[in-house]
Amino acid sequence: MVQQSAPLWSSRFAFVMAAVGSAVGLGNVWKFPYMAGTGGGAAFVAVYVGCVLLVGVPILVAELMLGRRGGKDPVGTMAGLGARFGGTPAWGLVGGAGVLTALLVLSFYSVIAGWALAYVPKALGGVFAGADGTATQAAFAGLLGSPGTLLAWHTAFMAATVFVVAGGVRGGVERASTWLMPALFAMLLALVGYGMVAGDFARGATYLLKPDFSKIDGGLVLAAAGQAFFSLSVGLGTMLAYGSYLPADVSIPRTSVVIALCDTACAILAGLAVFPIVFAYGLDPSEGPGLVFVTLPVAFGQMPAGALFGAVFFALLVVAALTSAVSLLEPVVAWGTGRHGGSRKAWAAGVGAVAWGLGLLTIFSFNIWADVRPMGGDRTVFDWIDHLTSSVMLPLGGALLAVFAGWALPKEVSAAEFGTGDTALFRAWRFLVRVVAPAAVLGVLLDRLT
Ligand code: PFF
């Protein structure tokens, strides 16, 4: 097998951890709990887990496979494989759409990571000591109401992302992924433990884990599917790019299962940390994007050494966000240097600057544009960017990659990359990417758009 990209990772283990680092981030700790809350709890969670298993993991396998086979940036990989197996290099457009989507996602991702960054000094300074839900809500509203403050933290986070990507991903992200991500996991566990002692754990757990299937409709399925794509980092070329650095002796199905397990475990733990506090303190589960930022600080304000614990927690969340943001910038930079030449540093800075500028749309959505509804309805500008990327572009991109891997890529090639031969597992995967994933995505999209 040709390995065209320079190996980014020093070992197999490091690769797997970097991919886990991409998957685990704000999507798990920030987005999953509030999406579950606005989606009514366990019904959302059940559909989400179904989407991860039946659609997300098979597409993750497909993306890593195509990435390793193509060996280039997402556009180059899809154009090359398209010309070779798919009848036309126009398949490169799927990679191109992914690169654009990555830019858009990065733009708001950095703003939200900025919220977490802002909460490190807040927690450390004892702002939350003894605070109840009303106080933490006021603190959060104060942050959102200040575009200048949001801009400062957004700038700091984007600069850090650019710095890491410009320097080559290897050293820093590897270390962050292998040491700090497990630390975040341990903190989440501790918070779940805290919820058992001090929160309304029974109610929180029931809310999250006991589904009422009558609540499921097309909108909920689309939101859950979108969240599954977002959380696994699939559908926009990140895993195509990471796959191009994937050593030949790594098992793609096994890696994908590890990524999905770590990712889903973190999301569920975050939910189990948040909802017992929500119910114990009379907060609103459907609060929206601020949910973790108003609930967890209540816990930090009550527990012993909560100031330090809270600061460390938000710092680790920032690190988890950084390893994900890097994986959003990386494919765009890989495309730029691969396609147009120029230095890695210049591309990282330039693309980072564009994403930074687009981030202003998100920042203003929470203050000076808080009442702006670009298409009527109740979506703000940020809601639109989030909806278009997570619920439309990622599922579409993922479905097209699945179709390519299932129908255009010859069976011998996918079997060789899958690495198990023509086993039942391989056949199951092939059926999922050929039929189930595209049908599911098209089904829910059509249901919502008509
Ligand atoms: N998976 C990341 C998270 O859950 O926070 C976000 C993300 C990273 C999405 C990379 C997409 C991506 F390509």
Q: How far apart are CA 70 and CA 123, in angstroms?
A: 46
Taking residues 409-418, what's their average pLDDT? Answer: 96
Of the candidates 421, 248, 400, the one whose C-alpha atom is nearest the C-alpha of residue 429 is: 421
The answer to whether residue 137 scores a pLDDT higher than 70 is: yes
For residue 239, which atom of ligand 1 is closest to its CA? 13
Mean pLDDT computed over 268-272: 97
Is 7 part of a structural domain of the chain?
no
Indicate whether residue 233 lines ligand 1 (CB < 6 A).
yes
Per-residue model confidence (pLDDT) at position 158 = 98
Maximum Cα interatomic distance, the chain, rounded to a whole number of Å: 64
| Residues whose CB falls within 8 Å of the CB of residue 122, separated by 6 or more in sequence, listed in order | 128, 139, 297
Domain extent for 289: 12-449
Categorize the per-residue pLDDT at 78 as very low, low, confident or very high, splitting at 50, 70 and 90.
very high
105 vs 12, higher pLDDT: 105
The overall average pLDDT reported for the chain is 93
In this structure, which residue's CA is closest to atom 7 in ligand 1? 233
Q: Is the pLDDT of residue 170 over 70?
A: no
In a domain, 1, yes or no: no
Give the mean model confidence (pLDDT) for residues 299-327: 94
CB atoms within 10 A of CB 1: 9
Residue 3, pLDDT score: 42
Q: What is the atom index within ligand 1 of the atom nearest the CA of 235?
A: 13
Whole-number Å distance between alpha carbons of 325 and 330: 8
Beta carbons of 213 and 43 less than 8 angstroms apart: yes
6 — pLDDT class (breaks 50, 70, 90):
low
Closest CA to 224 of 445, 449, 401, 46: 46
Say if 236 falls within a structural domain. Answer: yes
Closest CA to 348 of 146, 140, 167: 167
Answer yes or no: is pLDDT of 329 > 90.
yes
227, 223, 235, 248: which is closest to 327 by C-alpha? Answer: 235
With respect to residue 159, please indicate whether it lies within any of the assigned structural domains.
Answer: yes
Atom of ligand 1 lying closest to residue 394 CA? 11
Alpha-carbon distance of 127 to 122, in angstroms, equals 6
Q: Are 42 and 210 in contact (CB under 8 A)?
A: yes
- pLDDT at residue 55 greater than cutoff 90: yes
Q: What is the mean pLDDT of residues 355-370?
A: 97
Residue 18's pLDDT is 87
Nearest atom, ligand 1, residue 327 CA: 10
In a domain, 38, yes or no: yes
Structure confidence by residue, pLDDT tens digits, 39-48 = 989 999 999 9
The amino acid present at 229, given as its one-letter code, is F
Mean pLDDT of 156-168: 91
Question: From the CB of 394, is ligand 1 less than 6 Å away?
Answer: no
What gap in Å lies between CA 226 and CA 388, rounded to an integer?
10
What is residue 4's predicted lDDT score, i.e. its pLDDT?
46
Residue 11, pLDDT above cutoff 90: no
pLDDT of residue 338: 86
Ligand 1 centroid from CA 104, angstroms: 12
CA distance 388 to 55: 19
Question: Could you give the number of structural domains in the chain?
Answer: 1
Q: What is the pLDDT of residue 1?
A: 38
Pick 5 or 37 by higher pLDDT.
37
Q: What is the pLDDT of residue 122?
A: 97
**Between 174 and 327, whose confidence is greater?**
327
Q: What is the pTM of this model?
A: 0.95
Please check the confidence at residue 433 and state whether its pLDDT lies above 90. yes
**pLDDT at res. 450:** 62
Q: What's the pLDDT score for residue 101?
A: 97
Cα separation of 418 and 431, whole Å? 14
Residue 236 Cβ inside 6 Å of ligand 1? The answer reads: yes
> What's the burial of 53, exposed, middle or buried (CB within 10 Å: 0-12/13-18/19+)?
middle
Q: Vertex 413, ends 412 and 415: CA angle to 5°? A: 65
What distance in Å separates the CA atoms of residue 336 and residue 344, rounded to the nearest whole number?
A: 8
3 located within any domain = no
Residue 276 lies in a domain: yes
Is 223 contained in some domain? Answer: yes
Q: What is the Cα–Cα distance from 366 to 125, expressed in whole angstroms?
A: 25
Average pLDDT over residues 187-202: 95
Q: How many residues does this entry show for the chain? A: 450
Rounded to whole angstroms, the Cα distance separating 325 from 333 reads 12
Per-residue pLDDT band for 179 (boundaries 50, 70, 90) equals confident
pLDDT band of 2, cuts 50, 70, 90 = very low
Distance CA 444, CA 438 (A): 10
Instruction: Give the mutation target among 48, 157, 233, 238 for probing the ligand 1 site: most ligand atoms within 8 A of CB.
Output: 233
Q: Which residues face 374 on adjacent strands?
A: 376
Please state, in angstroms and rounded to a whole number, the distance separating the CA atoms of residues 124 and 307: 5
Section 75-104 average pLDDT: 96
CATH number of the domain bearing residue 106: 1.10.4160.10
